[in-house]
Chain A
């Protein structure tokens, strides 16, 4: 089976690379937008209870909808089929991990540290960018990492609504009962997930301020 997989891989490498590129777009665009939206939203949620309650509730609800159902829902919701509705669904799916980590990261900054910052005369924004965000940033990156890995997997389902990506091989392979075709989508997707996890893990480490790393190692 693996022999036929490798043969197929060599044979259809242009197609695979094209699918990989599509897949990367299905991951990075939704995760990128989710990051841009949720970090400010997470900050607002820690500050205003009025934002916190509805936003966290909505993100939690979105996460409980099965990913397949969420993708399929794009059609009755009027987004139709193709890459764009797939990206919208994946974007919604990426919201919670990042939002939750931004919120938790900021919330877990020690009260004493926040009180000292305010008491010494920092404005709200100074406290945010000089103290809270530097301390919370590893946790926020952790959220982006989780979201990225989840979306790499979930994006294989995008093929079901014509979103393209590595899922195309898997769906076709399932339909034609050809294992090597399934692997042609599944293996690169799995490797991509591992690679993203590894790279973002490194990023997480390097954005952690040295003082916090020392504190954690203790």
Chain B
């Protein structure tokens, strides 16, 4: 959809130059919500504005749908790209309806088409056209104004929308609301969005891909989960902030922390063989499965085998059948609750009830401590 190739911007001439964007490469897929983030002066806004040629690039190329934008008519290009800015920039002398319809008007859409589209859009974000169409921007709240700002960008049905800190000037509650609406709109309409912000919470809430920039370079481009889990370096860690890196048992799935290679034995195995295997691998608990389907039957512990030594011919007789199984997407918080009251081991199973991992109390505790250490080791 959108490709930035060795994109560079140098401001100034002669000895007095400043490299705002330094040879960056980035590919954005159709339908992706990409957030450019970084400290002020990192080049995120410059990068954004080079896409619609509000800032002229020094070198490199921008390719939209396989076509280099350097060959395109700048005005036509901009009409095909939605643009939303922090200061909103609604035209104060035009009604809301005329503000929304401005790009279709520039593209010479008929009056009927413009009206129809405007009404549809306004209804989509809950601005009743009968009430608001003929009002003026000054009669709207900040949040409503920026909703109109977003509609104005959507009016000509662009595939690509650029947003430059669009919610930065709004109060926190309105901001949260608009973020949610925007994310919803983007998914519903399958728009590709490049969004600039300096607010990490905003990036985490909205992005499919976060592109963290510093001094004109991309430091890390990754999904929010990936960036939280594996920050590329200290700068990323610092920028994300410790509180966000801390383990979040409410959202972390148990599959992230489980032991992924638990000992699995068959009901037919002899207690002696299982015990030997346990000693070899320093494990004291095994998941017992049955047959070729590997369906979970229960667990068996080293203790119970030792106590019953000689009496049982297979582990089937020693299995504790009250084992609790959970799916991988169970949150760590829920898993911890069960480990605290009901059982000392949870078997994580897949759709076919085959074991994919286990979590014990000790293991859970240890992984939480590790996560904490990682995030606070700075």
State whether A121 touches B75 (Cβ < 8 A). Answer: yes
State whether A121 touches B92 (Cβ < 8 A). Answer: no
State whether B106 touches A120 (Cβ < 8 A). Answer: yes
Collect the chain B residues with CB atoms within 8 Å of residue A121's CB: 75-80, 103, 106
What's the minimum C-beta distance from A124 to chain B, rounded to whole angstroms?
10
Question: Bound state CA distance, A114 and B89, in angstroms?
Answer: 8
State whether B85 touches A116 (Cβ < 8 A). Answer: yes
- Tell me, yes or no, whether B93 is within 8 Å of chain A by CB: yes
**Interchain CB contact (< 8 A) of A214 among B86, B91, B139:** B139
State whether B89 touches A209 (Cβ < 8 A). Answer: no
**Interchain CB contact (< 8 A) of B87 among A112, A123, A130, A218:** A112
- Tell me, yes or no, whether A115 is within 8 Å of chain B by CB: yes
- Tell me, yes or no, whether A211 is within 8 Å of chain B by CB: yes
Chain A residue total in the interface (Cβ 8 A): 26
Interface string of B110-148 (1 = CB under 8 A from A): 000000000000000000000000001111000000000
State whether B88 touches A118 (Cβ < 8 A). Answer: no
Q: Which residues in chain A, 96-119, are within 8 Å of chain B measured between CB atoms? A: 110-119
Given contacts A115-B54, A215-B138, contact A120 B91 (CB under 8 A): no
State whether B85 touches A215 (Cβ < 8 A). Answer: no
Closest partner residue, chain A, to B49 (CB atom): A119
Chain B residue total in the interface (Cβ 8 A): 31
Given contacts A120-B79, A121-B76, contact A113 B91 (CB under 8 A): yes
- Tell me, yes or no, whether A131 is within 8 Å of chain B by CB: yes
State whether A135 touches B52 (Cβ < 8 A). Answer: no
Question: Bound state CA distance, A119 and B75, in angstroms?
Answer: 9
State whether A214 touches B138 (Cβ < 8 A). Answer: yes
Given contacts A120-B152, A121-B106, A210-B136, contact A112 B89 (CB under 8 A): yes
- Tell me, yes or no, whether A212 is within 8 Å of chain B by CB: yes
Q: Which residues in chain A, 128-163, are within 8 Å of chain B measured between CB atoms? A: 130-131, 134-135
Collect the chain B residues with CB atoms within 8 Å of residue A210's CB: 93, 136
Q: Which residues in chain A, 169-218, are within 8 Å of chain B measured between CB atoms? A: 209-212, 214-215, 218
Collect the chain A residues with CB atoms within 8 Å of residue B153's CB: 120
State whether A118 touches B54 (Cβ < 8 A). Answer: yes
State whether A122 touches B106 (Cβ < 8 A). Answer: yes
- Tell me, yes or no, whether A7 is within 8 Å of chain B by CB: no
Collect the chain B residues with CB atoms within 8 Å of residue A115's CB: 54, 85, 87, 89
- Tell me, yes or no, whether A4 is within 8 Å of chain B by CB: no
State whether A118 touches B78 (Cβ < 8 A). Answer: yes
Given contacts A115-B85, A116-B85, contact A215 B91 (CB under 8 A): no
State whether B83 touches A120 (Cβ < 8 A). Answer: yes
What's the minimum C-beta distance from B12 to chain A, rounded to whole angstroms?
17
